[in-house]
Structure 1
Amino acid sequence: MNNHSGHDMTAHGGARPGGLSVSENGYTLELDSTIFPAGVRTVTFRVTGPDGRPVTEFTPEHEKKLHFIAVRRDTTGFQHMHPVMDGKGTWSVDLTLEPGDWRFFADVHPVGHGGTMALGIDASVAGPYAPQPISGGSRSAHVGEYTVSLDGELLPGTASDLTLTVSRDGRPVTDLQPYLGAYGHLVALRVGDLGYLHVHPDGEPGDGVTEPGPAITFMAAAPSGGVYRLYLDFQHQDVVRTAEFTVRATATVTPGPDAAPRAASEHAGHRGGHAHH
């Protein structure tokens, strides 16, 4: 698995997720404006370095020098974009913004810095705000004629497989196209603070092993228990689509020897209503 950010969902579960701070290791995300009217709007920003100047040299990660994520605080409106930078270090990107409070993330690897980082900043979009409830925990997401099914459990502090399987009109999709060097990209946001996690699947196109669908498998670990929103980007027939899921990361508890008889008794007494985590 190739991780995209130093704070990703990796086997190092329990680490602080990225995107919770506007500044890290001397690097800061600066927006020209943090207030926008609703609609399609151009957002301009810079990443400044420890010297206070805009950074202009970045190490590409998955074919791009900067990955920009926008999402409303109620986890709707997710957009994974790739802005354009001018010669002075100012980036610009067009976003579709609905009224409400938003969180913007810049995922970058400045040249000279030891790795990638995710910086986050809040923005406000004017207008009547109608926050949406977090969707339920369905294991299937529908994107037009495509269905994406999720298998596996997200565990806090423990690496586990998450497999997303893509079908179209009931038939497996076996010709997914590479998108930014992978068959799929997964972003997870922790509900409550929008702690940011970003991973990529096991294997990569052209490695002689990884198939172009229908299944895309990620090795992931959540930094903590709680509810997470998952966003899978995949490309088919030259169109990038996003499937969304809601999952709960729950620790797996291994009972000690003294707890075994009680666990068995409880299982017998609550058959059909006892959840195994």
Structure 2
Amino acid sequence: MSAPVKLAGFAALLVLVFGVAVAAGDVIGPDRQASEIPQPGMGEHGAVDPIRGLSIAEGGLSLEVAETSPELVFTIRGEDGEAVRDFEVEHERRMHLIVVRRDGTGFQHLHPELGADGAWRTPLTLPEPGAYRVFADFNHDGTSYTLAADVTVDGAATYRSFPAPASADTTDGYDVRMRADGEQLRFDITRGGAPVETEEYLGAGGHLVALREGDLAFLHVHPNDDGVSFEADLEPGTRYLLYLQFQHEGRVHTAELVR
């Protein structure tokens, strides 16, 4: 990587958030207060997770990032400061890591490995300068958590404006179209005009991550039984970046849409 990656500590994180807001203007939209965050119900496939991913600590657990390049190294710590080691399997993994630049570009969904020292590790490439949001999504003691921190890549960052609503995308030769019906989002996937039946990926026919404009609040939604429709309690009048992941012919593909 041409630009060294710096870690954003807790104090630096606050500076970074305000710095990005000043530099980017309307790129990521208005900030939100915790009291404004709706809390929909939790559940398995077909149910909506609550809004999460707004803080580095929650419920006595905290996210500590040690390194970012050439691999990301992080630890989940308990109230006693010790590394947490007992994580439950959720969607075939004990840890799901989402990385995305603050303007919504560069989306990655990774699955780190837990080492004997209690730290999680995964190779990570951040190709463009700027501020990136790192979401650690996991289950501990029967409770789902999403802890988040910012890391930065040095250099002059050019942030894109928050994109306008877009109900269609083309990725790797696949055409993806979204249809909204109330709280249900349905995705039609075709290739060369022919419908595509997705394969099971991480225990489901598809996965959807929604990031809210402004604060990048995280909503990890899983599909109904058909694999291509989701119940998503999204705020009316607020835009969301939607990242749909599906597997076909043994490869995982990511479509990016905006609602």
Identify whether the pair has TM-score above 0.5, normalized to the shorter chain: yes
The aligned amino acid for 1:181 is: G
Q: Which residue of 1 aligns with 2:77?
A: 48
Pair 1:100 & 2:123 matched: no
- Equivalent of 1:238, from 250, 255, 258? 250
- Equivalent of 1:23, from 54, 57, 70? 57
The aligned amino acid for 2:257 is: F
> Alpha-carbon deviation of 1:227?
1.1
> Alpha-carbon deviation of 1:15?
9.3
- Equivalent of 1:87, from 109, 116, 119? 116
Query: Structure 1 CA distance, aligned partners of 2:59 and 2:212?
Result: 23
> Alpha-carbon deviation of 1:81?
0.6
Q: Radius of gyration: which is bigger?
A: 1
Query: Structure 2 CA distance, aligned partners of 1:243 and 1:83?
Result: 22
Q: Is the 1:106–1:119 Cα contact (8 Å) retained in structure 2?
A: yes
Query: Structure 1 CA distance, aligned partners of 2:240 and 2:118?
Result: 33
Q: Which residue of 1 aligns with 2:233?
A: 221
Query: Structure 1 CA distance, aligned partners of 2:153 and 2:54?
Result: 20
Query: Structure 2 CA distance, aligned partners of 1:8 and 1:44?
Result: 31
- Equivalent of 2:186, from 163, 175, 179? 163
Change (3 A) 1:70 1:76: same
The aligned amino acid for 1:62 is: H
Question: Runs ≥4 in structure 1, deviation > 4 angstroms?
Answer: 7-16
Query: Structure 2 CA distance, aligned partners of 1:68 and 1:224?
Result: 27
Q: Which residue of 1 aligns with 2:175?
A: 147
Q: Which residue of 2 aligns with 1:57?
A: 86
- Equivalent of 2:199, from 177, 201, 209? 177
Query: Structure 1 CA distance, aligned partners of 2:203 and 2:49?
Result: 26
> Alpha-carbon deviation of 1:163?
0.2
Task: Could you tell me which runs of 5 or more consecutive residues in structure 1 were left unpaired when the two chains were aligned.
Answer: 1-6, 204-209, 248-277
Query: Structure 2 CA distance, aligned partners of 1:230 and 1:66?
Result: 20
Matched residue count: 218
**Which deviations, in whole Å up to 9, do the C-alpha atoms of 1:212-268 show, x marking residues without a partner?**
7xxx11011025741110000100111111001111xxxxxxxxxxxxxxxxxxxxx
The aligned amino acid for 2:202 is: L
* Aligned residues: CA RMSD: 2.4
The aligned amino acid for 2:220 is: H
> Alpha-carbon deviation of 1:132?
1.6
Q: TM-score, normalised by structure 1?
A: 0.73
Query: Structure 2 CA distance, aligned partners of 1:91 and 1:170?
Result: 42
Q: Is the 1:70–1:104 Cα contact (8 Å) retained in structure 2?
A: yes
Q: Is the 2:52–2:219 Cα contact (8 Å) retained in structure 1?
A: yes
- What SS is found at the alignment partner of 1:226? coil
Q: Percent identity?
A: 40
State which drifts further: 179-188 or 8-17: 8-17
Pair 1:32 & 2:56 matched: no
Task: Could you tell me which runs of 5 or more consecutive residues in structure 2 were left unpaired when the two chains were aligned.
Answer: 1-36
Change (3 A) 1:14 1:184: closer
Equivalence map 1:103-114=2 (5 Å)? 103-110=133-140, 113-114=141-142
> Alpha-carbon deviation of 1:144?
2.2
- What SS is found at the alignment partner of 2:80? coil
Q: Which residue of 2 aligns with 1:252?
A: none
Query: Structure 1 CA distance, aligned partners of 2:222 and 2:49?
Result: 18
- What SS is found at the alignment partner of 1:74? coil
Q: Is the 1:11–1:221 Cα contact (8 Å) retained in structure 2?
A: no
Query: Structure 2 CA distance, aligned partners of 1:170 and 1:16?
Result: 36
The aligned amino acid for 1:107 is: D
